[in-house]
């Protein structure tokens, strides 16, 4: 096991969009009249927590209807060959449903709820949603177990640790506009191989050993995985 290469994969909204999950900004025309800060921030929660719960219930429904695509499934194959960890910006569970086992959710998990007074009290929702009056064992209202605008990203330091050890770093479906996740590539060793896969490659600057694959994730990821299987 110790001689296996370490592969770290960063996935963004693009990989889930190919499964039919709308990106945050495209979820539903109904929500376009709202400011995102009203839907995904501590301030928005304080102002109208019922609206926030409704928004996330709609998002959760879209996720439950979606299925992992060829990109998700191809990444599972890497776990059979390399020490592979997926760092995802996505709050959905498509990587888990595809069969990946080592996943770090930077921005939390929409299929879980957590207490509003103790972030260590979290719960798997299964096929349920969150409604006003749903409380934790301490009696406090439950909220989505996701990281909102203005909140710290508690898993970021752990993500850096993985990235620093990567022999191969792969970015899939990320605009590289959301920080701190977008900064992870800066922590990759200079000599490590780097790949970016997206149907529209974001501006990333110059990095040594960087290869660009301008394809949708469901096409580009299986091609790259087959290539890496031959190494």
Would you kindly state where each structural domain of the chain is located, as residue ranges? 1-21+68-107+152-231
Which range, of 22-26, 98-102, 118-122, 223-227, averages the lowest pLDDT? 22-26
SS3 108: strand
pLDDT at 33 over 80: no
Instruction: Report the distance separating Cα 99 and Cα 86, nearest Å.
Output: 12
Q: pLDDT tens-digit profile of 81-137?
A: 999 999 999 999 999 999 999 999 999 999 999 999 998 999 999 999 999 999 999
* Residues belonging to the chain: 231
The pLDDT assigned to 28 comes to 56
The pLDDT assigned to 65 comes to 95
Catalytic residue numbers? 107
Q: pLDDT tens-digit profile of 158-183?
A: 999 999 999 999 999 998 888 999 99
The pLDDT assigned to 1 comes to 41
Lay out the sheet containing 108-115: strands in order across. 122-124, 108-115, 142-146
First and final CA of the chain: distance in angstroms?
16
Question: Beta-carbon neighbour count of residue 226 at 10 Å?
Answer: 11
Q: What pTM does this model have?
A: 0.92
The pLDDT assigned to 3 comes to 67
pLDDT band at 25 (very low <50, low <70, confident <90, very high): low
Looking at the structure, give the CATH architecture of the domain made up of residues 1-21+68-107+152-231: 3-Layer(aba) Sandwich (3.40)
The pLDDT assigned to 36 comes to 78
Which range, of 34-43, 101-110, 148-157, 216-225, averages the lowest pLDDT? 34-43
């Amino acid at each position: 096991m110790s001689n296996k290469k370490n592969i770290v994969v960063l996935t963004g909204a693009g990989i889930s969009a190919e499964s039919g999950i709308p990106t945050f900004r495209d979820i539903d025309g109904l929500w376009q009249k709202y400011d995102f800060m009203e839907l995904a921030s501590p301030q928005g929660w304080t102002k109208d927590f019922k609206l926030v719960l409704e928004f996330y219930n709609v998002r959760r429904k879209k996720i439950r209807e979606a299925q992992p695509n060829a990109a998700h499934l191809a990444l599972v194959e890497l776990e059979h060959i390399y020490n592979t960890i997926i760092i995802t910006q996505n709050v959905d569970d498509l990587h888990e449903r595809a069969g990946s086992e080592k996943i770090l959710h930077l921005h939390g998990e929409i299929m879980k709820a957590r207490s509003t007074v103790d972030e260590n009290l979290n719960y798997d929702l299964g096929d349920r949603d969150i409604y006003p009056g749903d409380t934790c064992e301490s009696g406090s209202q439950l909220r989505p177990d996701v990281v909102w605008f203005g909140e710290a990203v508690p898993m970021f330091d752990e993500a850096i640790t993985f990235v620093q050890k990567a022999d191969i770093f792969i970015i899939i479906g990320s605009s590289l506009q959301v920080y701190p996740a977008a900064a992870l590539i800066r922590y990759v060793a200079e000599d490590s191989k780097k790949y970016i896969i997206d149907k529209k490659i974001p501006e990333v600057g110059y990095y040594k050993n960087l290869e660009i694959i301008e394809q949708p994730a469901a096409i580009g990821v299986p091609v790259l995985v087959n290539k890496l299987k031959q190494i």
